Structure 1
């Protein structure tokens, strides 16, 4: 005869094995639902201004403000395993030293399928800054709308919904002052 502890141990081992197999099946089944959302991205304007920093009051820094129009429908990405989406607009450019820089200039967390249709007209959320403090040596930037699917169970999935066709040139800070 088995003791009560041996029986509880056997039942809990069977239960935990069944739960792990179920979670593994859920994680593997999320690869079956592949959606490719498409969107439109249009950069309306890019302005660069001189600014003083709080940390270094005697140092001038250039800050860029991007106005854009974007529309995208992320509803195909929502299924029974989708917890939320992280949608973001990023600017990619190469510094004169050959370093690739990626800066997020707008983002949104989408938690419901009803909120997955995004239509933004000329709204910037974050300032565009370079580590060197100046955009004078940076020639142009490529903008892309990307997303990250966060499932309940499984791996994170990344993708791209829209990209500008051509790189947008950075204006000189003296040209942007109106």
Structure 2
């Protein structure tokens, strides 16, 4: 005869095995639902200004402000395993020292399918600064709208919804901004 502890152990082992198999099936099914949303990304204006930093008040830096237009639909990415999306606008450029930089200018977390249609015209959420302090001799920047699908169960998946057709040059810096 089995004791009560042996019976509880057998039942809990069966349930945990069933739950793990179910979770593995959910994670594997995420690979079957592939969606590739496409959208439009337009850089309306790009301005560079001289600025004094709070950290180093004696040092002049250049800050870039980007105004952009985004219109895309991420609703095909939402299924029963999608918890939320992380959508972000990214700028990639090479500075004067030859270092590749990737900077996030704007981001948004989309939690519901009803919020997945994005139509935004605004300035950047985060300022674009180069570590060298200047955008002089910097190669043109390529802008792209990317997303990250965060599932309830499974691996994160990344993708790109839009990209500027040609790299955009940084203009000469104007007078200071406070």
**TM-score past 0.5 threshold:** yes
Distance apart, 1:175 and its partner CA: 8.1
Q: Contact 2:81/2:151 (CA < 8 Å) preserved in 1?
A: yes
Deviation at residue 100 of structure 1 after TM alignment = 1.1
Gaps of 5+ in 1: none
Q: For 1:152-172, what per-residue CA distance to the aligned partner results, in whole angstroms no more than 9, with x for missing partners?
A: 000000000000000000011
Q: Which residue number in structure 1 is paired with residue 32 of structure 2?
A: 32
Runs of 4+ in 1 over 6 A off after TM superposition: none
Deviation at 1:123, TM superposition (A): 2.9
Say yes or no: does 1:87 pair with 2:87: yes
Take 2:61 and 2:158, find their aligned partners in 1: how far apart are those partners? 33
| Structure-2-length-normalised TM-score | 0.96
- Name the residue aligned to 2:47: 47
Q: Distance in 1 between matches of 2:176 and 2:163?
A: 24
- CA offset digits 1:87-120 (Å, max 9, x no partner): 0001000123322100000000000000000001
Q: Given that residues 65 and 123 in structure 2 are in contact (C-alpha distance below 8 angstroms), is that contact kept between their aligned partners in structure 1?
A: no
Gaps of 5+ in 2: none
Say if 2:156 is the partner of 1:156: yes
Q: CA RMSD in A?
A: 1.4
Per the TM alignment, residue 176 of structure 1 is displaced from its structure 2 partner at its CA by 9.4
Question: TM-score, normalising length from structure 1?
Answer: 0.96
Provide the C-alpha distance between the structure 1 equivalents of 2:75 and 2:58, rounded to a whole number of angstroms.
48
Range 117-126 or range 146-155, more displaced = 117-126
Corresponding residue pairs, total:
177
Aligned counterparts of 1:62 and 1:103: Cα–Cα separation in 2: 15
Residue 167 (str. 1) matches residue 173 (str. 2): no
Contact 1:44/1:122 (8 A) holds in 2: no
Aligned 8 A contact 1:47 1:176 in 2: no
Distance 2:106 2:112 in 1: 19
1:121-160 superposed Cα distances (whole Å, 9 cap, x missing partner): 1332111111111111212100000000000000000000
Q: Does 1:6 align with 2:34?
A: no
